[in-house]
Amino acid sequence: MVLATFSQKVFKTVKLALPIIIGQLGIMLMGLADTIQVGRMKFLAAESLGASGMAGSIFFTIAVVGLICMNIVSPMMSKAAAEGDLPECGNLLRASLRVALFLAVITIVILGIIGLNYDLFGQTAINKKLTLPFLALITASVIPIFIFSALKTLTDGLQKPRIAMTITLIALLLNVLWNSILINGYGPIPALGLMGAGIATLMARIFMAASLAIYIFTRKEFKPYLAKVHEHHTPWILEKTILRVGVPSGFQGFFEIATFGMAVVMMGWISITSQAAHIVAINMASLTYMAATGIAAAGGILVGEDIGNKSKPGIYVSGNAALFLSLVFMGICALVMFFGREFFVTSYTKEIAVVTIAVQLVIWGAVFQLFDGVQAVSLGLLRGLQDVKIPTFITIFSYWGVGIPLSYYLGIYEGQGAEGIWIGLTASLICSSILLTWRFYVRTNGIDLDALKVE
């Protein structure tokens, strides 16, 4: 009976997670497309790779707070739907859209300030020249990608993730096409290089937000969720709840992304070649990580459903199923990365110096796959439980207390270079995965299901 229940939950998690994973990969593949197409430019390829990596790291380091804050709404949607409270889903959607716009403005301001003080990163003159215009373009895409994330909370929370997945895949194809035209030029359109990739990304994200908004607000299946507004809520209570739970969750992602962003900066202290190699290797690891976050999102949504059904055993089974799937999936990815590392790296770039370093880094990337998957899923499960404070402290300790100091010590102080930095990153993920998994089981054991509700 227990095995049958577990198997059913695994199947349900896979069914929910697969479209989310594909959608997550679609978003990440936009960055991959930029990296590959920029890496194959005839001129300034290595320099443009480093610049796109710096801009991408800065962007996601700041934007991740808002993006993860939006993710916290999906389990709340799932809980409301399980309780049969359909208007509450519409309330949550409207609240998440308002929060998305609020956080988008803050994100744009912070990114602007960072751009004005870019010299503090100690990068080369050519890196600055290439990075700042590209960063300005992707900063402009904050509003559409935040709106898309807010809208996606409804479709994912109602366990209809294929909608956002389909839109994301169409946007990916458009991004690749627009990259090809704008980076290399076509007919009367001049070759814009890295700037062309930035324009293509902005256009793709606008398409995503507009398409999902049109779909949700014109389809009859969503009208029961959007028809009326609950009257029992005090003004802005849902927005405050999303921010109260979501912002600490966002900072969990911030501390992790900031760690890897700081790794890009430290690579720049070593050499442009090391920085470009790091960008290639981290893009490969990021693809599998995005898949793990898809499993984490599915696990969190199912935990929210279990809370709505007042089932503590269900929470345990949902958590175990998500962690099991993470170990299986990331284990396979680790093997694929290890044995196919030379093939994958040379698919990004043909520059021998970059390839040599990147191949070594991918070995460490294969090692930390398992731990990266477990910590990502554990965080997703804890967000489903609306447990954010202690997990935030765990991420601070793991990444800034262990990861960054060890990366600096081995990579810079001891002179082990790029590989030393990646050893430090691996240590931070091991620490995080152990502590967050422990926290999920402790929190579930002591949970009061009746207390988990919006006042």
Give the DSSP letter string of 317-330. HHHHHHHHHHHHHH
Average pLDDT of the chain?
A: 85
Q: What is the pLDDT of residue 231?
A: 59
Nearest to 149 by CA among 244, 48, 72: 72
- Highest mean predicted confidence (pLDDT) among 51-60, 151-160, 227-236: 151-160
For residues 154 and 75, the answer to whether their CB atoms sit within 8 Å is no
Q: How many domains does the chain have?
A: 1
Q: Is the pLDDT of residue 378 over 90?
A: yes
CA 450/CA 307 separation, integer angstroms: 9
Q: 92-102 pLDDT, tens per residue?
A: 999 999 999 99
Q: Which of 56-65, 124-133, 152-161, 231-240 has the lowest mean pLDDT?
A: 231-240
CA 234/CA 246 separation, integer angstroms: 19
Q: Between 342 and 407, whose confidence is greater?
A: 407
DSSP per-residue letters across 363-384? HHHHHTHHHHHHHHHHHHHHHH
Q: What is the pLDDT of residue 455?
A: 37
Long-range residue pairs from 26-32, CB within 8 A, at least 24 positions apart, any chain: 26/165, 26/168, 26/169, 26/171, 26/172, 27/168, 27/172, 27/290, 28/286, 28/287, 28/290, 29/172, 29/287, 30/171, 30/172, 30/175, 30/201, 30/204, 31/56, 31/283, 31/286, 32/283, 32/287
Q: For residue 27, give its domain range.
A: 2-451
Percent of the chain topping pLDDT 70: 93
Nearest to 322 by CA among 9, 73, 51, 18: 9
Q: Is the pLDDT of residue 261 over 90?
A: no
Q: 299-325 pLDDT, tens per residue?
A: 989 998 888 888 888 899 999 999 999
Question: Mean pLDDT across the stretch 58-80?
Answer: 86
Question: Mean pLDDT across the stretch 368-376?
Answer: 89
pTM > 0.85? no
Nearest to 172 by CA among 147, 144, 195, 205: 205
Question: Mean pLDDT across the stretch 443-455?
Answer: 66
Counts of helices then strands in the chain (DSSP H, E): 18, 0
Q: 37-46 pLDDT, tens per residue?
A: 776 666 666 6
CA 132/CA 419 separation, integer angstroms: 28
Q: Is the pLDDT of residue 454 over 50?
A: no
Report the phi/psi class of residue 193: left, alpha or beta, with left for phi > 0 and alpha for psi in -120 to 50. left
For 276, residues 6+ apart whose C-beta sits below 8 A from its C-beta are 46, 49, 50, 53, 349, 351, 354
Q: What is the pLDDT of residue 45?
A: 63
Q: Is the pLDDT of residue 63 over 90?
A: no
Backbone angles phi, psi at 186, to 5 degrees: -155, 120
Question: Mean pLDDT across the stretch 22-28?
Answer: 76
Q: 384-393 pLDDT, tens per residue?
A: 888 888 999 9
Q: Between 54 and 301, whose confidence is greater?
A: 301
Q: Which of 16-25, 160-169, 295-304 has the lowest mean pLDDT?
A: 16-25
